[in-house]
């Protein structure tokens, strides 16, 4: 029995030798990859989290987890996981370009475009042949309206992926107003690969930008023939049809697009715009509201609704929708609503002991129109700061505002204030309906001495009517093609007994030869250095005839006799189907009535000028 302990020890060793080995730890990363391949994001995320716990120093598990979180829409934890992976990288690691690319996507998801762009650039730098971050950078910058930067990235992309990069170059050139360059690029692409629907679509956009709307329609039709019905193509085709005054065809296309994608934002917005073109205001409002049912925060749809309501005279509801103007796509390249770090005045708050800042936000005409509200604010506030752009500063400075108003010089530091309000939001603050508008004119002064000097200069002893003319506005205005009139067409106004005076400070190249040849049109525009000069001249004239520009607002604010020539679908402030304006009592509104355009309007104006001349001569004879 002495050998029993030794035998027992031997048996224990044998048992240990033949016992099964402990199970290997799970390969959580592999399991996560399997789940990901099956599309099970939840299980993949669980496995990658386990992998991170099991191997905290492994950066790849964190990269994979970041990808899954990104796909689940969890941008913040995705960014955190990817940043941790990048912090763990070791010399020779090959995942950096992918992690930076995913990090860029996470920042983009979080609304941090500059951080996203930096990550995309880091991804492209980490691997020179990596095209995806370049493409992502182009799309991010395009969406942000930073088209010059996007063009640079598209050229880099073209070096790696010529077809895709060239198309994106063309896209950015169109956005930059360089449509002719874009067209040349696209012609080269289509010469080699004529079956690309995306290239035909961009070709149509380039033709559209240069006013070649018939050609654009053919390109859009080709895009649809090759790629099938596409609401985005239908929207652009509808816009070309609008430019050609073929609105019913545009509506038919948009109805087809809605049938395939009932929630397509741009289709709803464009449909509302076409209804506005046709002056079908109730239908325009209904179209905007139908779009808002799918996209309740869409600023473009709210803006279409605002236009429909204000044109119809529903000011109370219209002003509320008008506040969405700050967020529309048309303002993408303009300054956003400033963050002053002060509360905004809505009209409900007591400002009797406070200083309020009122600031201009858009064009000169808008500033002049809404300046009428400043005295109403001054009656409620202790003091009012008025901040306007340089172009109207001297006019506003001499506007005779109440004593508690200070016009802040452009570029000067803002004094301390308690509240702020944009000038164009004051009608909402005061709850203005049509009957409540401050309409007393004149509410701007003029220099009587300078006006008398102009009268003396224009008085040639003939007794002719002295009529100021403005036929075009800012060519960069989004609706310039509708509101401006070529000067050669304005010669239809030539009337015996009328002497015309050009009030155009700048004359387009296409109008200069006509201006030189028109002996009956005195070119005074070059002498109008600012709005004070223009105000003095307006007071020396018998009548002002103008398209919808800042001069119309200035003449109206001065209470001068004023005829405004309006397109069939005018800006909201002129409303519809009336010749008077609740904003300017001295104004008459002369409107296009149909697709015949300006000739019937100008013929009517000439007839009425002839009647004025006859009245003057009859009066003088008596």
* Mean pLDDT value of segment 589-616: 92
> Up-side HSE of residue 141: CA atoms within 13 Å toward CB?
25
In contact, 206 and 186? CB cutoff 8 Å: yes
pLDDT tens digits, residue range 420-439?
999 999 999 999 999 999 99
DSSP state of 88: T
Residue 157: C-alpha distances to residues 100, 101, 170, 375 (Å): 17, 15, 13, 56
* Mean pLDDT value of segment 324-331: 85
357 strand-pairing partners: 385, 420
Q: Which residue would you say has higher pLDDT here, 337 or 356?
A: 356
Residue 113: C-alpha distances to residues 110, 137, 144 (Å): 8, 9, 8
How far is C-alpha 515 from the geometric centre of its chain's CA atoms? 34
588 membership: H or E segment, kind and range: strand 587-591
> Up-side HSE of residue 524: CA atoms within 13 Å toward CB?
27
In contact, 360 and 423? CB cutoff 8 Å: yes
Q: Which two tokens stand for residue 266?
A: 């741009």
DSSP state of 563: E
Opening angle at CA 547, ends 500 and 438, nearest 5: 110
User: Could you give the CA distance from residue 572 to residue 227 in angstroms, rounded to a whole number?
Assistant: 38
- pLDDT score for 338: 83
User: Could you give the CA distance from residue 292 to residue 213 in angstroms, rounded to a whole number?
Assistant: 29
- Widest distance between CA atoms in the chain: 157
In terms of Cα–Cα distance, which of 154, 71, 144 is closest to 106?
A: 71
pLDDT tens digits, residue range 258-309?
999 999 999 999 999 999 999 999 999 999 999 999 999 999 999 999 999 9
pLDDT tens digits, residue range 49-106?
999 999 999 999 999 999 999 999 999 999 999 999 999 998 888 999 999 999 999 9
Q: Which residue would you say has higher pLDDT here, 434 or 594?
A: 434
How far is C-alpha 102 from the geometric centre of its chain's CA atoms? 30
DSSP string, 288-312: HHHHHHH-TT-HHHHHHHHHHHHHT
What is the CB neighbour count within 10 angstroms for residue 13?
Answer: 10
Q: Which two tokens stand for residue 295?
A: 């996209």
Predicted model pTM: 0.84
């Amino acid at each position: 029995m002495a050998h029993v302990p030794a035998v027992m020890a031997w048996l224990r060793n044998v048992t240990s030798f033949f016992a099964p080995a402990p199970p290997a730890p799970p390969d959580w990363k592999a399991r996560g990859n399997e789940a990901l391949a099956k599309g099970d994001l939840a299980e993949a995320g669980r496995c990658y989290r386990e992998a991170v716990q099991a191997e905290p120093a492994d950066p790849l598990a964190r990269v994979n987890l970041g990808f899954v979180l990104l796909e689940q829409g969890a941008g913040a934890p995705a960014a955190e996981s990817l940043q941790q992976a990048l912090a763990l990288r070791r010399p020779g690691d090959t995942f950096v370009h992918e992690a930076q690319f995913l990090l860029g996507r996470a920042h983009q998801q979080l609304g941090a475009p500059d951080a996203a762009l930096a990550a995309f650039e880091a991804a492209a730098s980490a691997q020179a042949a990596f095209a995806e971050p370049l493409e992502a950078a182009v799309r991010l910058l395009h969406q942000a309206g930073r088209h010059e930067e996007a063009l640079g990235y598209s050229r880099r992309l073209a070096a790696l992926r010529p077809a895709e990069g060239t198309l994106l170059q063309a896209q950015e050139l169109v956005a930059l107003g360089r449509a002719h360059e874009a067209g040349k690029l696209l012609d080269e692409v289509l010469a080699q690969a004529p079956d690309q629907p995306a290239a035909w679509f961009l070709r149509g956009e380039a033709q559209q930008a240069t006013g070649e709307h018939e050609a654009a329609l053919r390109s859009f039709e080709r895009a649809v023939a090759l790629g099938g019905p596409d609401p985005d193509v239908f929207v652009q085709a509808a816009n070309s049809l609008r430019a050609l005054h073929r609105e019913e065809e545009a509506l038919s296309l948009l109805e087809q697009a809605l049938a395939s994608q009932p929630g397509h934002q741009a289709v709803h917005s464009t449909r509302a715009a076409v209804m506005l073109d046709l002056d079908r205001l109730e239908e325009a409002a209904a179209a905007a509201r139908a779009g808002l049912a799918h996209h309740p925060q869409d600023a473009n749809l709210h803006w279409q609704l605002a236009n429909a309501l204000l044109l119809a005279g529903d000011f109370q509801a219209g002003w509320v929708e008008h506040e969405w103007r700050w967020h529309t796509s048309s303002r993408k390249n303009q300054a956003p609503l400033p963050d002053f770090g002060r509360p905004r005045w809505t009209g409900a708050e007591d400002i009797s002991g406070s200083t309020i800042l009122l600031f201009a936000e858009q064009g000169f005409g808008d500033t002049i129109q809404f300046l009428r509200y400043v005295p109403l604010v001054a009656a409620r506030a202790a003091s009012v700061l008025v901040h306007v752009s340089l172009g109207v500063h001297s006019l506003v400075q001499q506007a005779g505002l109440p004593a508690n108003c200070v016009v802040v010089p452009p570029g000067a530091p803002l004094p301390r204030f308690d509240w702020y309000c944009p000038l164009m939001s004051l009608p909402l603050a005061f709850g203005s309906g049509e009957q409540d508008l401050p309409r007393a004119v004149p509410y701007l002064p003029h220099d009587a001495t300078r006006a008398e000097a102009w009268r003396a200069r224009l008085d040639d002893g003939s007794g002719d009517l002295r009529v100021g003319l403005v036929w075009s506005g800012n060519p960069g205005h989004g609706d310039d093609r509708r509101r401006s009139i070529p000067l050669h067409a304005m010669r239809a106004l030539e009337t015996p007994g009328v002497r015309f005076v050009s009030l155009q400070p700048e004359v387009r190249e296409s109008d200069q030869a006509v201006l030189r040849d028109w002996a009956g049109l005195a070119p005074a525009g070059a002498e109008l250095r600012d709005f004070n000069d223009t105000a003095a001249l307006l007071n020396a004239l018998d009548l002002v005839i103008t398209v919808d520009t800042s001069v119309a607002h200035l003449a109206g604010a001065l209470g001068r006799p004023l005829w405004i020539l309006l397109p069939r679908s005018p800006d909201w402030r002129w409303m519809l189907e009336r010749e008077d304006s609740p904003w300017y009592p001295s104004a008459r509104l002369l409107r296009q009535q149909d697709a015949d355009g300006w000739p019937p309007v100008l013929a009517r104006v000439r007839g009425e000028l002839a009647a004025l001349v006859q009245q003057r001569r009859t009066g003088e004879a008596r």
